[in-house]
Amino acid sequence: MSRKRWRAVKEIRIADVARLAGVSTATVSRVLSDPEKVRKKTHDLVMEAVRRSGYIPNSTAQKLRMRRTMNVLVIAPRLTNPVFAEILRGVDDELTQSGYGIIIGNLDNRREREARYVDLALSRQVDGVLLLTGYIPENDTRNMRESGLPIVALCAAIHEDGIPNVVVQDREATRQAVEYLARLGHRRFGYISGTLSSIIEVERFAGFQEGIAAAGFTQGDFVRWEGPFVFSTGVAAAEAFLQMKDRPTAIFAACDESAIGFIKRVRAERVRVPQDVSVIGFDGIEFADYTEPTLTTFRQPLHELGRVGADVLLRLIHREMRPEDWNIRLPLTLLERETTGPVLHKDYKSLRRSAL
């Protein structure tokens, strides 16, 4: 078993370079970090030694000495959700530009995994935290928030002192969604929610109820189905929908995946979308434009959300935050596509009769 093939090669330290160039370590360090501070001749001498030795500074030593890690922790509920992937892209664009690295904290929809990342943050492995989770704050994360570590919440307004929020106007958008469906003539609604313990859900449901009230309806005019932000939640909602005798004619899904799952399932039972039931999603993921029919949905400015969130976090880290930056709420865009349309009472009734 030949181990030595892949043993690390001898590591070159700054002292080695200094010796090679015949200068002190301080000079080498200066050449590398602030070339203006050394004479041209010395500079060239050192650079030659750096080149010949292949020296690369040990970043851990730098981090320790400079007291910053140049890393940011991004805690996301689930990596395979395109929404978070897209936000992460925005975050990445902004952070790598500033030389920061991203450590990912994937909860995989299991909240108890938060603890691990709280530890990571508290042990100063990162200079700041970006919270993409929409969980309602609990003791777990309290330490983190109290530690003074810069934190920015994306995706969910954590109404707490010292934590800036960069979020979308989901409440307003959800409300508009209901109003839009009401304008199309719908009277009975279905609401496919997210996990009840998430702030996102609280916001969106509040917006939904506002919309219901604004359009002159009551609690009795809609049904609510609950589950995490995944396809199967929509499928489950569809099963329940199919059992109903007085089916809603319009469905609002709090995420595109649920909407897609719902549509797939009801179409398998010959329920037509949008003739028999209109469906509107939320998120605007890329897939939503490739389903059949294409999904009407509210597009979140995901990439921008990530960029802006990262920017705010960097400002927090660099202590250049101004009060007016505290809270940012980005607008959504309604993408009117094929899954919504006016109620067709006749069609709907005949379908219902044939299903009996």
Residues 62-81 that bind DNA (CB under 7 A): 62, 64-67
Q: How far is the CB of 99 from DNA (least distance, A)?
A: 13
Nearer to a copy of itself, 22 or 162 (CB): 162
SS (H, E, C) the chain: CCCHHHCCCCCCCHHHHHHHHCCCHHHHHHHHHCHHHCCHHHHHHHHHHHHHHCCCCCHHHHHHHHCCCCEEEEEECCCCCHHHHHHHHHHHHHHHHCCCEEEEEECCCCHHHHHHHHHHHHCCCCCEEEECCCECCCHHHHHHHHCCCCEEEECCCCCCCCCCEEEECHHHHHHHHHHHHHHCCCCCEEEECCCCCEHHHHHHHHHHHHHHHHCCCCHHHEEEECCCCCHHHHHHHHHHHHHCCCCCCEEEECCHHHHHHHHHHHHHCCCCCCCCCEEEEEECCHHHHCCCCCCEEEECCHHHHHHHHHHHHHHHHCCCCCHHHCEEEECCEEECCCCCCCCCHHHHHHHHHHHC
Residue 38 in contact with DNA, rule: CB under 7 A: yes
In the bound complex, what is the minimum distance in angstroms from residue 149's beta carbon to DNA? 14
Of the two residues 207 and 341, which places its CB atom closer to a copy of itself in the complex?
341
Question: In the set 26, 214, 244, 355, which binds DNA (CB under 7 A)?
Answer: 26
Does residue number 56 form part of the binding site for a copy of itself (CB under 8 A)?
yes
Listed ranges 7-15, 39-47, 177-185, 242-250: which one lies at the site for a copy of itself (CB under 8 A): 7-15
Number of chain positions touching a copy of itself (CB under 8 A)? 64
Pick from 32, 47, 104, 351: which binds a copy of itself (CB under 8 A)? Answer: 104
Q: Which of 32, 47, 103, 344 lies at the binding interface for a copy of itself (CB under 8 A)? A: 103
**Binding residue for a copy of itself (CB under 8 A) from 88, 182, 192, 237?**
88
Residue 14 near DNA by CB under 7 A: yes
| Residue among 37, 51, 52, 116 that touches a copy of itself (CB under 8 A) | 116
From residue 9 to residue 28, what is the string marking binding to a copy of itself with x (rule CB under 8 A)? x-x-----------------
* Residues of this chain that bind DNA (CB under 7 A): 11, 13-15, 22-30, 32-33, 37-39, 41-42, 57-58, 61-62, 64-67
